[in-house]
């Protein structure tokens, strides 16, 4: 089980890093990769909650915080990509 937790944490940290990097160097491909990492983090977190008998409340609060932060970064990146696309036209 501890290896799954480690994988989940690595995916989540990579997700935050990629979302942040994508904000500063926006592109559609990076945005799609960011969405993939968000999905992978939520999926692995869901698996960990189902497979373990840990505190669901604490896990859900941590997951909610993660999703909020990464969603804000991703939405801001979406706005930047649209602005850059308008400038190119």
φ, ψ of residue 25 to 5 degrees: the values are -130, 70
pTM: 0.82
pLDDT for res 89: 64
The domain locations on the chain are: 2-88
C-beta of residue 38 within 8 angstroms of C-beta of residue 15: yes
Percent of the chain with pLDDT over 90: 57
Tokens of 39: 């999905």
User: pLDDT, tens digit, for every residue of 11-36?
Assistant: 999 999 999 999 999 988 999 999 99
CA-to-CA distance for 18 and 35, rounded, in angstroms?
Answer: 10
The pLDDT value recorded for residue 85 is: 84
């Amino acid at each position: 089980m501890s290896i799954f937790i480690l994988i989940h944490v690595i995916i989540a940290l990579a997700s935050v890093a990629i979302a942040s990097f994508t904000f500063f160097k926006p592109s559609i491909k990076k945005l799609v990769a960011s969405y993939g990492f968000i999905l992978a983090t939520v999926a692995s977190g869901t698996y960990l909650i189902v497979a373990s008998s840990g505190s669901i409340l604490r896990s859900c609060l941590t997951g909610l915080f993660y999703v909020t932060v990464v969603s804000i970064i991703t939405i801001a990146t979406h706005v930047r990509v649209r602005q850059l696309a308008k400038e190119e036209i």
